Amino acid sequence: MTPTLPLSAPATRTVALVRPIAHPRPIRLRLPKLAPPPSRGAQPTDRQVDQIRAFNRFYTARAGLLDAGHLGSAFSLAQVRVLFEVAYGSGTTASDLGDRLHLSRGYLSRLLRDFTKKGLVSHARTIPDGRFKALHLTTLGRETLETLERAAKEGMRDMLAAVAPTGRAAVVDALTTVRAALRPRLMQRPLIRLRSPRPGDLGWVVERHGAIYAAEYGYDARFEGLVAQIVADFAKGQYGSRERCWVAEVDGARAGSVFVTRASARTAQLRLLLVEPWARGLKLGHRLVSVCTEFARAQHYREIILWTQAELEKARHLYEGAGYRLTASKRHAMFGKPAVAETWTLTL
């Protein structure tokens, strides 16, 4: 499951060299000046760490405390967290709760006792194993939590309301992405969805192709431009429902993309298959390729092709596993370094 690169014409594009002729300033052919990508080794850079810490100082004080809704209520932060966890994972046990909230067994026990006394929580020794006590919120408990939640939501709503309305989506998207990316591996199965593009998604595809291929393979600005061209052509909608794009979401955050375009009346082309580095290993690439094959079949294409680069090892495996076969290859140096472009074909 790797991003892969079904891109435009493998034929070497001739770049017109413009020589200074009659202009006040000599014109050099120069790619739009793209500052070099900040190099990234195996370890996060100091700058990255500093940026994250700046965010933490700024954000956690503001949102972290505000978010519980305990301010102004009769409950402490810890109490609210417990109440919330009981509600969320109804039927959990005390020790499970302690693990999740990092509270000592003793303290937690006392908190729960108080809640029981106040009639917010009920616990019954119903589970096969008699040592456990399954925790549940009573109706009163749910109502109480409801109130707290309302306050918390209000706080967050106010925070977000301070941002210009059309800027809010950017904030929410960003946080969702962070959450998905930092999600601990193997913790719980993430929710994966394929959906149609929304405004901004086409640009996102360009951005991520540009950033990821620059970082991983050292491709230069021309590559990002090429992706923009492909996306622009797609957006023209020239071939109506015979072309299509999907965006893959992991836990609500954009994590991948793929396009099917019309190469000819009988040939479909899979393009711009991408999987975010942080979302690899979830079989996203596999699902994206599959949906393309299905679509191409449903649209009565006779075959589906794709262009990729030989160096994209994982992508090649993916295509091979999906039934594609290598049908052509050609050297080129389109993106700033020698490479081999390949054509793969799947007969439908």
Site size toward a second copy (CB under 8 A) is 128
Restricting to residues 296-335, name those near a second copy by CB under 8 A.
Answer: 299-300
Residue 130 as a binder of DNA (CB under 7 A): the answer is: yes
Answer yes or no whether residue 196 interacts with DNA by CB under 7 A.
no
Q: Which amino acid is at 327?
A: T
In the complex, what is the shortest distance from the CB of residue 29 to a second copy, in angstroms, rounded to a whole number? 5
> What are the tokens at 340?
């081999």
Query: Angle CA(305)–CA(307)–CA(310) in degrees, nearest 5?
Result: 130
Q: Rounded to the nearest 5°, which phi and psi values hold at 250?
A: -115, 115
Q: Cα-flanking dihedrals φ and ψ of residue 115, to 5°?
A: -60, -40
Closest separation between CB of residue 192 and a second copy, Å?
A: 17
Judged by CB under 7 A, the chain residues 134 through 193 that form the site for DNA are none
Nearer to DNA, 123 or 183 (CB): 123
CA distance linking residue 335 with residue 176, whole number of Å: 32
Q: Does 62 bind a second copy (CB under 8 A)?
A: yes
CB of 325 to a second copy, least distance (A): 25
Both structure tokens of 117: 């006394």
Q: Positive or negative, the Cα torsion across 261, 208, 180, 317?
A: positive
* Binding of a second copy by 198 (CB under 8 A): yes
Among positions 59, 91, 140, 143, the unique one binding a second copy when judged by CB under 8 A = 59
The structure tokens listed for 109 are 């026990």
102 part of the interface to DNA, by CB under 7 A: yes
Q: Which amino acid is at 134?
A: A
Smallest distance, Å, CB 53 to a second copy? 6
Among 14, 29, 128, 189, binds a second copy (CB under 8 A): 29
| Residue 157 interface partner, choices DNA, a second copy, none, CB cut-off 5-8 Å depending on type | a second copy
Write the CA distances from 36 to 198, 206, 214, 215, 219, integer angstroms. Answer: 30, 18, 9, 10, 11
What backbone torsions phi and psi does residue 219 show, to the nearest 5 degrees?
A: -70, 150
Site track 217-246 with a second copy (rule: CB under 8 A), x = hit: --x-xx-xxxxxx-xx-xxxxxxxxxxxx-
CB of 270 to a second copy, least distance (A): 16
Cβ proximity to DNA: between 91 and 321 the closer is 91
* Binding residue for DNA, selected from 106, 165, 240, 338, defined by CB under 7 A: 106
Strands (E), the chain: 121-124, 134-137, 192-195, 244-250, 253-262, 267-275, 303-309, 325-332, 339-347
Which is closer to a second copy, CB of 76 or CB of 238? 238
Pick one of 73, 190, 277, 311: the residue that binds a second copy (CB under 8 A): 277
| CA–CA dist 201, 207 (Å, integer) | 10
Residue 199 partner contact from DNA, a second copy, none using kind-dependent CB cut-offs of 5 to 8 Å:
a second copy
Q: Which is nearer to a second copy, 120 or 274 (CB)?
A: 274
- Residue number with CB closer to a second copy (128 or 199): 199
Buried b (16+ CB within 10 A) or exposed e, 255-277: bbbbbbbbbeeebbbbbbbbbbe
44 alpha-carbon distance from chain centroid: 19
- Taking the complex as a whole, the smallest distance from the CB of residue 249 to a second copy amounts, in Å, to 12
Smallest gap from Cβ 57 to DNA, in A, equals 17
Return the residue of 11, 124, 172, 328 that touches a second copy, per CB under 8 A: 172
CA distances from 21 to 17, 24, 26, 134 (A): 12, 9, 8, 84
Chain positions contacting DNA, by CB under 7 A: 76-79, 93-96, 102-107, 109-110, 112-113, 123, 128-133
